[in-house]
A and B are shown apart, each in its own frame.
Chain A
Amino acid sequence: MSNPILTIKQLGCRYGSRTVFEQLDLQATKGEVLALLGPNGAGKSTLLRCLARLQRPQQGQIWLDGQPLWHIKPRLVAQQIAFAPQQAGLNPELTVEQMLLLGRTPHRGWLLPMTKADRAIVEELLERFNLAKYRRQSLAELSGGEQRRVIIARALAQQPKMLLLDEPTAHLDLKYQLEIMQLVSDLAHNDGVCVILTLHDLNQASLCADRIALLAHGRLQAVGAPSAVLRSELIEAAYEVPIQMIEHPNHNLPLVMLQPQRKEVAWPN
């Protein structure tokens, strides 16, 4: 792997006496989409919070560009890593524009007024995310999908090298899910951002991630291309359910099929 921007070594996290995960080794590079998968409670969000410097791991080290993450000043971290939380993460009374400008604070500081350059960056994001027409509306007036776009746009206003997204597609309809997946891919492959995201939907991960890291039972079970990680024995062991793998009709990518027990009921016409 060429020049990892992120290196994680022997990372371990606990809540009280419960070990979330331990001995976790992982790397990530510029321009890739890395999806974190795993059952509920496997520590996907915890790992993401550690990377965002929101939570201090009990064991191990995280390096950002060769520097230990916890030795870098918070503001310098915020210039390089942006985090979009899964829910909340906004003040519904701020306007779209104010929210995005807040994303410039790691570069501008807490006292100085925003410059023309800051406004230009925000302007570009407003256009790119189709939010320009809502700029002066309060966030409360936006739909769930639009609010999610604002949260991600705010993170991008930080102009990060690494973007952390906690379940960016949760509670969104198909159109917005696709939009977010497309956006993530653009950011990584065109802008060279390292995007790390947690997902619940294995098929989404297959469709949008370059690599997948599978967390389960307190360990990193596998990491690699979708075809290497989304294999029935790995997924069945991680999620403890029987599944079947099929191939996407248009892309050479694996898809995971659940096998619920269904009783066929004949409804009278």
Chain B
Amino acid sequence: MARLISKPYWRDLLAFGGLLGLLLLTMVLSLGIGAVQFSPSEVLQAIIQPQHSSTNSTAVTIVWDLRLARMLLAALIGAGLASAGAAFQGLFQNPLADPFAIGASGGAALGATLAIVLQIQWQWLGFSAVALCAFIGALLAVGVVYTIAEVGGQAPRTALLLAGAALSTMLSATVSLLLLMNEQPLYEVFAWLLGGLSGRSWDNLRSSLPFVVLGIAWLWLLARRIDALSCGDEVAQSLGLSLWRTRSAVIAAASITTAATVANGGIIGFVGLIAPHIARLLFGANHARLIPASGLVGAMLLVLADTTARTIAAPLELPVGILTAMLGGPFFLYLLKRSRGIRD
């Protein structure tokens, strides 16, 4: 009888393999699409044997210098946002939560705006000034929300979400005010706020990579605790879990991940909301599977979205955030309609 329990692992393994295969396929196709088109085999050869004499050298240049870093960054950001979203949905027992639910986007927006308006020039760990300020802004905002919501060693879910909403509104008002007073950088800030990967290179990828990877790994290690939290505080506590410590850890891990994605991609909405739902349909609500699965789905969605964003109105590039919002909005509304409010 006990052996029966382990059977679904095969099913899951197969599904994971399939998802990974699909992601790799999307990536290769994405690299071939653009102003100059390449076949999948040309793309693969350019990646695997860039020095070989038979390799198309234009393909090598375009894939390596223009498309590969950006595509990998899209995958990384998609994976980070989706994993953080999955963790927050479990933590808040709320299917409508996303990585920005407790203020990360507002903080990042203000940070980036300040960096642009004040023409700050710092650099650190490969982050540009705007990226660095957005990263710090996102973490600060989450920290403030957490401090406000915390009472007596506990941070109730509702208080966190409400404080997050209030702070986000305040921060975005501040951003608007700053823009009204400084008109010149309007376009630059606007483009950043809409979220976009235009012109992103290996440097951007390198600076975000360690934080996102570590963040996702940390979330994955917290998976069983998030399972317990998703059953409510009383159950989590009666299983021996320290609510305060666990919640802080989940929030820290998810926010570092989110901040590192926002730093180099701007505010890209809806991926972190939708990808976990798709992953949940495939793998169920067990977070040890849900978090990596969400990551794969999110990576695929954002690679697809970014490829569309840079080709659909060529030679113009749309900010990918507009695309994810336009496609994700209807899906979000469908979820809202279906879930009939918030479970608590």
B232 touches A85 (CB 8 A): yes
Which residues of chain B in 212-245 are interfacial with respect to chain A, using CB atoms and an 8 Å cutoff?
221-222, 224-225, 227-228, 230-232, 234-235, 237-242
A102 with B1: CB separation less than 8 A: no
Select A83's contact among B93, B228, B234, B242, beta carbons within 8 Å: B234
Q: Are A119 and B5 in contact (CB under 8 A)?
A: yes
B199 at the interface (CB under 8 A from A): no
CB neighbours of A77 from chain B (8 A): 240
How many angstroms between the C-alpha atoms of A154 and B234 in the bound complex?
13
Interface string of B276-311 (1 = CB under 8 A from A): 000010001110000000000000000000000000
Stretch at the interface among A61-69, A86-94, A189-197, A200-208: A86-94
B2 within 8 A of A: yes
Q: Which residue from chain B places its CB closest to the CB of A154 in the assembled complex? A: B235
The chain A residue sitting closest to B286, CB to CB, is A98
Q: Does B343 contact A (CB under 8 A)?
A: yes
A side interface size, CB within 8 A: 43
Q: State whether the Cβ of B8 lies closer than 8 Å to any Cβ in chain A.
A: yes
Docked pose: A83 CA to B233 CA in angstroms: 12
Q: Given A98-B227, A110-B224, A123-B1, are A91 and B234 also a contact pair (CB < 8 Å)?
A: no
Q: Is the CB of A105 within 8 A of B239?
A: yes
> Interface size bucket, B side?
20 to 34
Given A89-B232, A111-B221: A94 and B239 within 8 A (CB)?
no
Q: Is the CB of B2 within 8 A of A119?
A: yes
**A102 engages B228 (CB within 8 Å):** yes
Chain A residues with CB under 8 A of B8: 136
Judge whether A94 and B285 touch: CB under 8 Å. yes
Contacts of B237 in A (CB 8 A): 52-54, 74
* Contacting residues, chain B, for A97 (C-beta < 8 A): 5
Q: Is A120 an interface residue (CB 8 A)?
A: yes
B217–chain A nearest beta-carbon distance, Å: 12
Give the chain B neighbours of A116 by CB distance below 8 A. 2
Contact digits for B1-12, partner A, Cβ 8 Å, 1 yes 0 no: 110011010000
Complex Cα spacing A95 to B93, Å: 16
Most chain A Cβ neighbours within 10 Å, of B6, B90, B230: B230
A118 to chain B: closest CB distance in Å?
10
Contacts of B2 in A (CB 8 A): 116, 119-120, 123
Chain A's closest residue to B246 (CB) is A110
Contact B284 A93 (CB under 8 A): yes
With known contacts A99-B231, A123-B2, A82–B286 Cβ distance under 8 A: no
Name 5 extra pairs, CB < 8 A, besides A88-B344, A91-B93, A94-B284: A85-B235, A94-B231, A102-B231, A105-B228, A122-B5
Enumerate chain A interface residues (CB-CB to B < 8 A).
49, 52-54, 73-79, 81-83, 85, 88-95, 97-99, 102-103, 105-106, 110-111, 116, 119-120, 122-123, 135-136, 138, 154-155, 158
19 A-B residue pairs with Cβ-Cβ distance under 8 Å, sorted by A, are A49-B234, A74-B241, A77-B240, A78-B240, A81-B238, A83-B238, A89-B231, A93-B280, A93-B284, A94-B230, A94-B231, A95-B284, A98-B284, A102-B231, A110-B222, A119-B2, A119-B5, A119-B6, A136-B8
